[in-house]
Amino acid sequence: MEYPTGAVVAGYTVVRTLGRGGMGTVYLARHPRLPRNVALKLLSADLSHDPEFRRRFEQEAELVAALEHRSIVNVYDRGEHDGQLWIAMQFVAGGDCHEALFHGGPMPAARALHIVSEVARGLDYAHSRRMLHRDVKPANILLAPGDGPNEPERVMITDFGIAKAIDDAKGLTQTGNIQATFAYAAPERIREDAALTDHRIDVYALGCVFFQLLTNRMAFVGGLGELVEGHTRRPPPRPSDFVPGLPPGFDYVVAKAMAKHPADRFYSCGDLAEAARRSMAEAPPSTPPPRPPYVPPPVTPPRPSSPVGVPYLPGHPSEPTRLAGPTGPRPPVQRRRRWPWVALAAVLVAAAALAAVFLVPWDRSETEDVAAGSAALPAAAELADMTAVVVLEEPDGTNLDLYLMNTNVGRAGLRLTDSPDADRAPSLSPDRRTIAYMSGPTDAAVVRVMASDGTGDRPLFPAPPTGCASMGRPAWNPTDGEVIVVTCQEDDQRSLQVLRVDGEVLQMLDTGGLAPFDPSFARDGQSVLFTGSSDTDDSGGAIYSLAVDGRSAPVLITGTPDGTDANATWSPNGSTILFRTRELNATTRGNFEIAVVDADGENRTIIAADPAQDSGPAWSPDGDRILFSSERDGAGKAGANHLWLVDVDGSAPPTQVGSRSGGAFGYTPSWASR
Sign of the CA dihedral running 278, 377, 392, 335: positive
Cis ω on the peptide bond leading into residue 653 (within 30° of 0)? Answer: no
DSSP state of 359: -
Phi, psi of 216 (to 5 degrees): 60, 30
DSSP state of 613: -
DSSP state of 249: H
Residues 602-606: contacts with CB under 8 Å, at least 24 apart: 604/558, 606/581
Nearest-angstrom CA–CA distance, 532 and 489: 14
For 572, the 3-state DSSP assignment is: coil
Q: Which residues pair with 670 in a beta bridge?
A: 389
Q: Tell me whether residue 549 is one of the annotated catalytic residues.
A: no
Nearest-angstrom CA–CA distance, 366 and 381: 23
Q: Which residues pair with 446 in a beta bridge?
A: 439
For 191-237, the three-class secondary structure string (H helix, E strand, C coil) is CCCCCCCCCHHHHHHHHHHHHHHHHCCCCCCCCHHHHHHHHHCCCCC
In our burial notation (b when 16+ CB lie closer than 10 A, e otherwise), range 282-319 reads eeeeeeeeeeeebebeeeeeeeebbbebeebeeeebee
Nearest-angstrom CA–CA distance, 405 and 390: 7
Do the beta carbons of residue 547 and residue 561 sit within 8 Å? Answer: no
Nearest-angstrom CA–CA distance, 651 and 313: 40
Do the beta carbons of residue 567 and residue 518 sit within 8 Å? Answer: yes
Give 513's Cβ-side CA count (13 Å radius): 7
Do the beta carbons of residue 172 and residue 179 sit within 8 Å? Answer: no
| Burial of residue 649, with CB atoms counted within 10 A of its CB: 0-12 exposed, 13-18 middle, 19 or more buried | exposed
Do the beta carbons of residue 560 and residue 542 sit within 8 Å? Answer: yes
Look at phi and psi of residue 636 and say left if phi exceeds 0, alpha if psi is from -120 to 50, else beta: left
Cβ neighbours of 444 (radius 10 Å):
16
Find the catalytic residue in 135, 401, 457, 610.
Answer: 135
Nearest-angstrom CA–CA distance, 659 and 674: 23
Identity of the amino acid at 656: Q
Nearest-angstrom CA–CA distance, 522 and 511: 16
Nearest-angstrom CA–CA distance, 671 and 650: 19
Residues annotated as catalytic are 135
